[in-house]
Amino acid sequence: MLSTKRKLSLLVLAFLAIAACSDQVFAAETFQFNVITNNDPSGVAGQVGSEVFLLEVSKVINPGGDPEQALFTFKVLSGDYAYDGFFIDGVYFYDGALLGIAKLTEDPAEQVAFTEGATPGHLPGIDLKTHKLVTGYELDVLDSADADASAAVNGVQAGESLGVLFDLQPEKTYDDVIAGIIDGRIIVGIKAQGFGPADYSESFTTVPVPAPGALLLGSLGVGVVGLLRKRKVL
């Protein structure tokens, strides 16, 4: 009969064996987005989007000591907003030399569905002399008889997320990626639609403010919008 100490040792070894066969995801840095378009003349769509869209960038280490990877997770916060029904329908990655091959990591429990390629081909205002489009992803609505309805369902809505996992260029690390977002070498952009009764669409790019500052700003922004709603400004 195995002793208690022996049982604990076997449990620890089993846990380590499982961990060795799995990718290990470490704590993420969180970034917000700034609006770069002005389709809604009131500016409310851009303001709300800047507060509800978040990007988490996590370090992933593969089993066997393979090179680090970076997992980009797009999230939409829930909240009581005057402009509801909005969702992310496209994501873009611009970079000089840090990011490599990417793949989607959608959560099967969610109805989010994207495919490689993005429309339009570029976000407005990006300097293509200094930044190259690495890849883009857009909504997958090809199998739906009602594309408009499918877009809202397949997009990243409040409480949902979309993940894109990147290999890194040789000799590059997760810390290089975070530094690249902060100093502007890497630009991550999103396109969103469904803002308000007029169904405005807006485009956004990352703001170089890592967590916890980004989360604090997001909390303050939610409070400000709620206050404006009570005063019937929104």
Whole-structure pTM value: 0.75
Indicate whether 184 belongs to any domain: yes
Q: Is the pLDDT of residue 192 over 90?
A: yes
Number of domains composing the chain: 1
Indicate whether 157 belongs to any domain: yes
The per-residue pLDDT for 146 is 46
Q: Can you give the residue range of the structural domain that contains 107?
A: 31-230
pLDDT band for position 78 (cuts 50, 70, 90): confident
Indicate whether 111 belongs to any domain: yes
Tens digits of residue pLDDT in 97-152? 788 888 988 776 677 888 888 888 899 989 888 899 999 999 886 554 444 555 66
More confident residue, 74 or 85: 74
Mean pLDDT over 64-82 rounds to 83
Q: Tell me how far apart the terminal alpha carbons of the chain are, to the nearest angstrom.
A: 70
Indicate whether 8 belongs to any domain: no
Contacts of 78 (CB under 8 A, 6+ apart): 158, 159
Indicate whether 56 belongs to any domain: yes
pLDDT band for position 11 (cuts 50, 70, 90): very low
Indicate whether 66 belongs to any domain: yes
